[in-house]
Structure 1
Amino acid sequence: MGGNETRLVEDIYMIGVRGMENLDVFVDFAKNMMKQDVVIAPWLTWGDGQNRIPTHLQRDIEGIAERFAHLHWRPDWRITLTGSYPISRNRVAEAYRETVSSTAVYLSHLELGQLNVTEEMVKVAERLTENFVAQTDPKVFVTFYLLTVIYEDLQALEYYGSMQANDFVRGHLHRPWGTETLSGELEAAVSAEAVEVDTAADLVRLTSRGKEMLHYIEGIFRESGFFTSRSKLIRLNNFNHVDDIASMMEALVPTACEHRKTVVELSGIQPGMAVLELGSGTGALTFEAGLFQRVGPDGRLVATDPSTSMLASVRRKRESYNAHWVEVVHGKAERLPFPANTFDSVIGYAFLHLTDMDEALREIARVLKPGGSLITLHPLHFPARNEFFLEWFAPLLKTGGTPRNQDNLPGPDTVPSAMEPHYEIVHLQSLDLEMHYTSPRTVVEFFVGIVDVFEEQMATLPWRARHDMVQQLIKRGEEVCRKYPPESLVEMHPGQFIRAIVRK
């Protein structure tokens, strides 16, 4: 990193101390960026220790980034915060490169439901980034990118307390994808007095000024919803690694099949209806629970899910059941690829809590015909009342001895309140799901790694710490399962069934 770039990063570090007036600018920027499906998440490209983007497409993205830098960067382009400093072309190109790359990976997840990045997704990411930057101040764009970089650095130091300088520069604890710039960033952080280095022990520590700046950045990310978006990306990333989520749920909830059948029985769906199933997974509700039979060959049943691997299972089952009236469509609840007033009913089992609920409910209301119904069964907050559960998940339930929001699942009033603007609830029923905690790896991978119900606690952990937390919880679960008899490792988990009629 050259002198100008080091001074620029140093200047960004000083924002948290002297630049509070920029808060609204960055909050608005982040909100607009997320609305346009532009993503700054370099870690998203780093899958299983290597770049998820093929080498030839990485070269294409480098060319795109250089072109953007050529278009938007000017020699007299300066940033004025605590002082006035030139912004180098290399730093601008880096911001564009990482944005196009992570947006391409995100789009591959969202649009294709796969981990592999295609040339088409790179082109779409290029267009989205170009359109977004044309609507904003490029200097704010670069600054916000740098805030995400600095957050990862300082967050790791706050979490670990201190770090060997060599470990910091190597980035394997917090930024293995960003090792090229870490040495210069450490130099800049020391110069800005955000961190200090104990030369005798070769340890890097966060200073009070660094903590103040970190909390400032956290405020921007929290107020803008950037943290929430980050958590959803983590969940989406993990979700697309799973081939059969239904099998995991059967191990956790042995009565899940009966509950799915209850959902179908209480749905009010009649033969010949046009029905949309959201979050179909591998088709457990579609086929094993008999939804396809309820709709019948004179009707239309469309099964959707964000994961193409799971939809492949639905297609196989459709062939084995010879259910030609079942359509399989890739999609997510927040953005349904159907015209308005298409369906008589929309139904889903344990899907609504995994969505942006307000957006999903609006979109479902759009595709329902007048008087159409939404049927959902979803879990509620973990009861967290059994001794084994509190012992097992103590690292997530408490931080520094202070109780945290235990999970991101809805409460009893969450879904009814969110439905109120668009629906009239005609059937609301509480029920208990018998949850078995006898398989530690399945429990942890499902709740923490895949559906990320402990979103608030996991979102603020450094990159390596998130992985370590999963392994720690699996080990704790194994100890708990040895300590408690199997019959006591059962918790009655509250759920909620709702049937509502759309208001048109």
Structure 2
Amino acid sequence: MINKLDLDIFIETGRIMIRDGIVIAPWLTWGKGEHRISFTLFTDIRTWSRHFAAQHWRPDWTMDIFGGQPIHVERAAEACREAVSSTAVYLCHLELGTLTVTEEMVSVAQRLTENFVEKVGLKDFVTFYLLTNMYEDLQVLHYYGSIHVNDFLQGDIHRPWGTNTLTSEFKQAVASRLVTVRDGFVELTHYGNEVLQSITRVFVESGFLKFRSRLVRLNNFNNLEDVESLTNILIPSSASIRKSLLELSEIQAGSHVLELGCGTGAYTFDAGLFQAVGPNGYLVVTDPSTGMLSTVRRKRDDYHAEWVHVVRAQAERLPFPDNMFDSVTGCGFLHLTNIHEALREIARVLKPGGTFSTFYPLHFPVRSDFFLEWFEPLLSLESKASHPDVLPDSDTVPAAMKSLFEIIRLDEFEHEIHYTSPQTVVEFFVEVTNLFEEKTAILPWRARQDLIQRLIQRGEEICRKYQPESLVERHPAQMIRAVVKSK
């Protein structure tokens, strides 16, 4: 029987870890088959981790939560190494917008890890780390039913970022009755399934799975150089939507304005936001993606718009003082953020009486025959969510705004999305923006890659089966303008 108290301990460990900015995401360090940390820095991290673990580890430690497996000092060092490596990559994404890990960020990651371990204890942290590995090992068996022993040991299906075989973990899983072997294939036992459900509960209630999905989105956006070319293919009315938002925002010439999620500058320059602010004003444009911001800087120089200032930032962590802007605006960004955190930051940087205006899509309608046929492999995946995607309901944003803003105008409408380019559709919705994270979060690594390729292939079949004019679905959306309440 699994002790509920033990689970609660690790739920809290996960929450503290996320709050303190500690990341366990080996795939983030690994990238797409290429390690993102130089050999020299990785050697330094490994040396530090061994020393740090040796200082805090005790030889009588066991993983008490499931079966009392011993925690060897090598596993403690591995946990510290993965935490520092993943956190350093995350910090470079977040702070520098680059995939190149610097010595400075490694030092910061080490300091954060030290502080975190001091709070929760090395044993509980290492146990949480081992749970992340156990989750991947058991989830792949739950998903596929069984896999060949050799495939399990190599980890290519579910943990391709590892450098060693999973032999020791496999032996422990067998000894703990989590898995069994039949005719050369590994299967999940009843007890193993019970353990998997308990780990899943820890990861869901601590926010770890949600945080991991946000990391996927951050990683994909930092690798993206041009989001506008994708959206223009999918939404031919994008230009008119941006124009309508600019009219709704009522930006005053000479004012201080912040644009969030600027992408490559379609709203900033093509829609005319920079002209609305004018040379006597002050326009700051932000985006999490360094690649896209480089395009914005080129456009700014082409337009000689010296009053436009380009800053890399996330909406949830704005690097600006309180009461700085007369208006905050942004087109198609809010649904890709933690909405509550982003709104709090927006309200903070607005001057008293300042306005916020934005456009965002709502849940996929999922009603067209072609869409249901095309996305059936994804829609049929298990999920406890009421919607297949993570987009907001019609009342999500207004409800989140209630305590911070007074809504002046709220327009609901539908816009057309064209599904005539399978590669673009799947890349944007499933891979880059990760809008179906509730469905895909449980997938093993290989299964996720296979699903993306399968959806592209099904899309190509759909495009041959249906006429182009039939491959259009009207998606609901909202456009909103609000005034920040008195602070």
Shorter-chain TM-score category? over 0.9
Indicate the larger mover: 81-90 or 144-153.
Answer: 81-90
- Between the aligned partners of 1:314 and 1:179, the Cα distance in structure 2 is 39
Provide the TM-score with structure 1 as the length reference: 0.94
Indicate the larger mover: 393-402 or 431-440.
Answer: 393-402
The answer to whether 1:346 aligns with 2:319 is: no
The answer to whether 1:113 aligns with 2:97 is: yes
**Which residue identity lines up with residue 371 of structure 1 in the other structure?**
G
Partner of 2:221: 239
Shift of 1:79: 5.2
Confirm or deny: 8 A CA contact 1:158 1:206 kept in the other structure.
Answer: yes
**Which residue identity lines up with residue 19 of structure 1 in the other structure?**
N
Match of 1:47 among 19, 25, 31: 31
Shift of 1:111: 1.2
- Between the aligned partners of 2:447 and 2:202, the Cα distance in structure 1 is 22
**Which residue identity lines up with residue 324 of structure 1 in the other structure?**
E
- Between the aligned partners of 2:227 and 2:55, the Cα distance in structure 1 is 46
- Between the aligned partners of 1:57 and 1:401, the Cα distance in structure 2 is 40
Confirm or deny: 8 A CA contact 2:385 2:438 kept in the other structure.
Answer: no
Shift of 1:67: 2.3
Shift of 1:86: 5.0
The answer to whether 1:138 aligns with 2:150 is: no
Confirm or deny: 8 A CA contact 2:418 2:473 kept in the other structure.
Answer: yes
- Between the aligned partners of 1:345 and 1:401, the Cα distance in structure 2 is 39
Distance change >3 Å, CA 467–CA 283, structure 1 → 2: same
Partner of 2:48: 64
Partner of 1:173: 157
Match of 2:173 among 189, 197, 203: 189
Distance change >3 Å, CA 23–CA 467, structure 1 → 2: same
Aligned length: 486
SS at match of 1:282: coil
Shift of 1:89: 1.4
- Between the aligned partners of 1:312 and 1:53, the Cα distance in structure 2 is 23
Partner of 1:291: 273
Confirm or deny: 8 A CA contact 2:383 2:438 kept in the other structure.
Answer: no
Partner of 2:20: 36
- Between the aligned partners of 2:106 and 2:136, the Cα distance in structure 1 is 25
Confirm or deny: 8 A CA contact 1:425 1:501 kept in the other structure.
Answer: yes
The Cα offsets for residues 142-191 of structure 1, whole Å up to 9 and x where unpaired, read as 10000001000000011111100000001000011225251111111111
Confirm or deny: 8 A CA contact 2:256 2:326 kept in the other structure.
Answer: yes
The answer to whether 1:417 aligns with 2:399 is: yes
The answer to whether 1:159 aligns with 2:143 is: yes
Partner of 1:389: 371
Distance change >3 Å, CA 181–CA 18, structure 1 → 2: farther
- Between the aligned partners of 1:402 and 1:104, the Cα distance in structure 2 is 33
- Between the aligned partners of 2:62 and 2:188, the Cα distance in structure 1 is 28
- Between the aligned partners of 1:244 and 1:66, the Cα distance in structure 2 is 42
Provide the TM-score with structure 2 as the length reference: 0.97
Match of 1:449 among 431, 449, 464: 431
Partner of 2:480: 498
Partner of 1:4: none
SS at match of 2:309: strand
| 1:222-301 → structure 2 map (5 Å cutoff) | 222-301=204-283
Confirm or deny: 8 A CA contact 2:383 2:439 kept in the other structure.
Answer: no
The answer to whether 1:332 aligns with 2:314 is: yes
- Between the aligned partners of 1:212 and 1:160, the Cα distance in structure 2 is 17
* Unmatched segments (≥5 aa) in structure 2: none
Percentage of identical aligned residues: 58
- Between the aligned partners of 2:138 and 2:64, the Cα distance in structure 1 is 23
Confirm or deny: 8 A CA contact 1:377 1:495 kept in the other structure.
Answer: yes
* Unmatched segments (≥5 aa) in structure 1: 1-16
**Which residue identity lines up with residue 149 of structure 1 in the other structure?**
N
Indicate the larger mover: 248-257 or 110-119.
Answer: 110-119
Distance change >3 Å, CA 85–CA 149, structure 1 → 2: closer
Confirm or deny: 8 A CA contact 1:286 1:292 kept in the other structure.
Answer: yes
Partner of 1:10: none
Match of 2:442 among 460, 468, 472: 460
Indicate the larger mover: 52-61 or 298-307.
Answer: 52-61
The Cα offsets for residues 21-57 of structure 1, whole Å up to 9 and x where unpaired, read as 2111111111111011110111211212121211111
Partner of 1:6: none
Partner of 1:438: 420
Shift of 1:282: 0.5
**Which residue identity lines up with residue 218 of structure 1 in the other structure?**
T
- Between the aligned partners of 1:134 and 1:440, the Cα distance in structure 2 is 49
The Cα offsets for residues 316-347 of structure 1, whole Å up to 9 and x where unpaired, read as 00000000000000110000000000000100
Indicate the larger mover: 41-50 or 292-301.
Answer: 41-50
Partner of 1:364: 346
Distance change >3 Å, CA 359–CA 404, structure 1 → 2: closer
The runs of at least 4 consecutive aligned structure 1 residues that moved more than 4 Å come to: 76-86, 400-404
Confirm or deny: 8 A CA contact 1:397 1:403 kept in the other structure.
Answer: no
The answer to whether 1:150 aligns with 2:134 is: yes
- Between the aligned partners of 1:83 and 1:226, the Cα distance in structure 2 is 23
Partner of 2:455: 473
Match of 2:408 among 407, 426, 442: 426
Partner of 2:111: 127
**Which residue identity lines up with residue 231 of structure 2 in the other structure?**
M
- Between the aligned partners of 1:232 and 1:470, the Cα distance in structure 2 is 18
Distance change >3 Å, CA 403–CA 477, structure 1 → 2: farther
